[in-house]
Amino acid sequence: MAPSPIRIAVLEADVPINYTRAKYGSYGAVFTSLLHKAADASNIARERLEITGWDVINSESAQDGKVDEMGGEWNWKRRKGYPKMEDVDAVLITGSRYNAFDNDPWVVRLVGFVKEVLAQSRVRVIGVCYGHQIVGRALGAKVARSEGGAWEVSVSQVNLTEKGKELFGKGALNIHQMHKDLVYYYPEGVEELGSSGPCKVQGMYVPKRLVTVQGHPEFTEEIVADLLENRHKLNIFPDGIYEDGMARVGNPQDGVLVAQAFLKFVMEDCG
């Protein structure tokens, strides 16, 4: 009997720029690339992964269903709206340039959808950066700018808790960061995964329900260099942040290891 598919819906809360847009077309393809590498490293056949992309910003309704051709080398396609719960095993909320604490209609709709997923017991939730913050908000935690609006960028170290060490298999993670917003405290019932100097809530975990990271396991050196260059040109990043980030952008990082933990989390007791 063939193993069951692993159905992951990527809820795309932004579109990439420049290099990343040309290569991948969409963040759904970026995550597909990462999850394929994680599957290879975990001896899971790539063919088991059924990954779909969903535009949660521009849909007129929760079940819009229209398909966009995103282009790029991956020729990625994504639907507008949200998946039906019975069609997926997990939802993965991507990063975004937007604020998880805003009340734009699409943000409120996204928070509401995450609450619906968390209210049932089968479909699991993965949150990355902005997605991590959306999950924090859905669970009632404060999400806001860091004090002073300080940025955490490029490859940075995250010190892991005992649960974090168990999930990721090492004492600390090196992972790309690109944020100045934070989840300020761990919601009730959530296990702590790690922290860094600028950010005390670097990851959240509830067995068989949710796992999140503030960092970006999907980011590569090229993707982050592209972001740093662009935000420096736009005067979002002053020289100091840009130069510091570029000095660390090529450092070894644990993105694939984190994605392996994501797959293990989705597959636990599910085949």
Is residue 68 helix, strand or coil? strand
Per-residue model confidence (pLDDT) at position 18: 86
Q: How far apart are CA 33 and CA 26, in angstroms?
A: 11
Q: How far apart are CA 224 and CA 183, in angstroms?
A: 22
- Between 66 and 241, name the one with better pLDDT: 241
Q: What is the pTM of this model?
A: 0.94
To the nearest whole percent, how much of the chain has pLDDT over 70? 92
pLDDT at 271 over 50: no
Q: Over the stretch 174-224, which tens digit does the pLDDT of each residue have?
A: 999 999 999 999 999 999 999 999 999 999 999 999 999 999 999 999 999
User: Which long-range contacts link 244-251 to residues 24+ away (Cβ below 8 Å)?
Assistant: 244/153, 244/154, 245/153, 245/154, 246/154, 247/154, 248/154, 248/155, 248/156, 249/154, 249/155, 249/221, 249/224, 249/225, 250/155, 250/221, 251/154, 251/155, 251/174
Report residue 256 as tokens. Answer: 């694939």
Burial 74-109 (b: 16+ CB within 10 A, else e): bebbbbbbbbeeeebbbbbbbbbebebbeeeeebeb
CA 232 from chain center: how many Å?
A: 23
Instruction: Tell me the average pLDDT across 21-26.
Output: 89
Q: Over the stretch 122-175, which tens digit does the pLDDT of each residue have?
A: 999 999 999 999 999 999 999 999 988 899 999 999 999 999 999 999 999 999
